[in-house]
């Protein structure tokens, strides 16, 4: 039964990502938005809805006296590392990823700045509602500035193909399918792993950890298959900016969030280092090829191994 559910989950992921990419491209044309912007903002927020649900639930649990800070902080930081390491590394193995240097500098600076800002607000071991509000406001300002400066060349057609008359509805349905089928896929894989006697630690760190990034992975790979590199990379960068600033902050606005010493000593600095390496590999010229992807995947593998050894 679990094997059948796994097949259904993967099939649903394929259908959902097809709907998401088609709707996203139609929205870009209809509203005169660039594909990079659509991936950076619209798809990244949509694919991160599970992280928002986890954050709100953790905040409410903390209010009732059960501190769930570790769940929201760990899932957010783990998702950031998995996306910039595993998802982008996997995408780089499949195709040559390129971005203009101005994009890398502008949005890479925001991403590194967001990680540093999160570290500074949490350095005392916790994040208050005031600090959480500041991080959310920072993200809102970033989105507003981006939207105000968004320009598409006049030669881009505004017309939307007849088969995509409701692109926003298509995106919503596609994202719902991707998120739901991601949960179905991860759940069935976990149950199958238990049946085959796989260790609990391996299941939690590898399967569930990667499973939180499954929506971004499926959307990014589907975009690459359609040769929409800007959409793919924009989704990954935008998702990391969102994950760094918003989920933990929303939980902190409900109830104070505690940040463990291990997160401050290892996970956050590692996320910053890995992000800086990826941006440097992009910026140095020539784009992101298989060699660069191999380096990034190796660094992600190192992160997983270190976490396994610490458990």
Pick the more confident residue, 303 or 57.
303
pLDDT at position 268 is 92
Distance (Å, rounded) from C-alpha 33 to C-alpha 27?
Answer: 7
Please state the separation of Cα 49 from the chain's center in Å.
10
Pick the more confident residue, 305 or 160.
305
Q: Is the pLDDT of residue 112 over 50?
A: yes
Distance (Å, rounded) from C-alpha 201 to C-alpha 224?
Answer: 32
What top-level class would CATH report for the domain 34-151+198-310? mainly alpha
pLDDT at position 189 is 63
Q: Is the pLDDT of residue 134 over 70?
A: yes
- Contact indicator for 17, 178 with CB cutoff of 8 Å: yes
pLDDT at position 226 is 77
Pick the more confident residue, 144 or 166.
144
CA angle 236, 241, 243 (to 5 degrees): 90
pLDDT at position 192 is 66
Distance (Å, rounded) from C-alpha 221 to C-alpha 93?
Answer: 11
Q: What is the pLDDT of residues 233-275, one digit of tens each?
A: 888 898 899 989 998 999 899 888 888 888 899 989 999 999 9
DSSP annotation string for 38-106: IIIIIIHHHHTHHHHHHHHHHHHHHHTT---HHHHHHHHHHHHHHIIIIIHHHHHHHS-B---HHHHHH
Q: For the ranges 11-25, 78-92, 105-119, 230-244, which has the lowest average pLDDT?
A: 11-25
Give bridge partners of residue 127 from the DSSP assignment. 257
> Percentage of the chain surpassing pLDDT 70?
79
Q: Compute the average pLDDT of residues 124-134.
A: 92
DSSP H or E stretch at residue 62: helix 49-63
Q: Which residue has the tokens 């390496």?
A: 277
DSSP H or E stretch at residue 257: strand 257-258
Q: What is the pLDDT of residues 175-209, one digit of tens each?
A: 787 777 766 765 666 676 667 665 544 454 455 55
Distance (Å, rounded) from C-alpha 289 to C-alpha 246?
Answer: 31
Pick the more confident residue, 45 or 87.
87
Closest to 170 in 3D by CA, of 40, 32, 18: 18
pLDDT at position 182 is 63
């Amino acid at each position: 039964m679990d094997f059948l559910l796994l097949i259904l989950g993967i099939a649903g992921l394929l259908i959902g990502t097809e709907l998401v990419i088609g709707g996203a491209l139609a929205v870009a044309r209809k509203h005169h938005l660039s594909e990079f912007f659509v991936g950076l903002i619209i798809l990244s927020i949509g694919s991160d809805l599970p992280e928002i649900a986890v954050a709100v639930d953790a905040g409410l649990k903390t209010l009732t006296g059960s501190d769930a800070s570790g769940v929201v902080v760990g899932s957010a930081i783990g998702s950031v590392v998995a996306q910039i390491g595993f998802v982008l590394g996997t995408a780089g193995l499949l195709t040559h990823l390129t971005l203009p240097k101005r994009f890398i500098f502008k949005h890479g600076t925001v991403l590194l700045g967001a990680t540093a800002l999160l570290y500074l607000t949490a350095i005392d071991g916790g994040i208050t509602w005031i600090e959480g509000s500041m991080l959310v406001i920072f993200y809102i300002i970033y989105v507003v500035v981006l939207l105000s400066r968004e320009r598409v060349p006049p030669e881009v057609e505004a017309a939307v193909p007849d088969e995509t008359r409701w692109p926003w509805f298509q995106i919503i349905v596609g994202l719902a399918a991707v998120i739901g089928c991601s949960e179905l896929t991860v759940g069935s894989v976990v149950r199958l792993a238990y049946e085959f006697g796989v260790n609990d630690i391996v299941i939690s760190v590898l399967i569930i950890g990667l499973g939180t990034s499954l929506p971004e992975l499926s959307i990014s790979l589907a975009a690459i298959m359609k040769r929409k590199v800007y959409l793919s990379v924009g989704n990954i960068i935008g998702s990391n900016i969102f994950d760094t600033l918003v989920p933990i902050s929303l939980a902190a606005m409900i109830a104070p969030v505690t940040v463990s010493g291990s997160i401050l000593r290892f996970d956050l600095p590692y996320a910053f280092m890995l992000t800086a390496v990826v941006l440097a590999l992009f910026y140095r010229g020539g784009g992101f090829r298989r060699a660069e992807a191999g380096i990034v995947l190796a660094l992600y593998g190192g992160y997983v191994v270190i976490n396994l050894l610490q458990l």
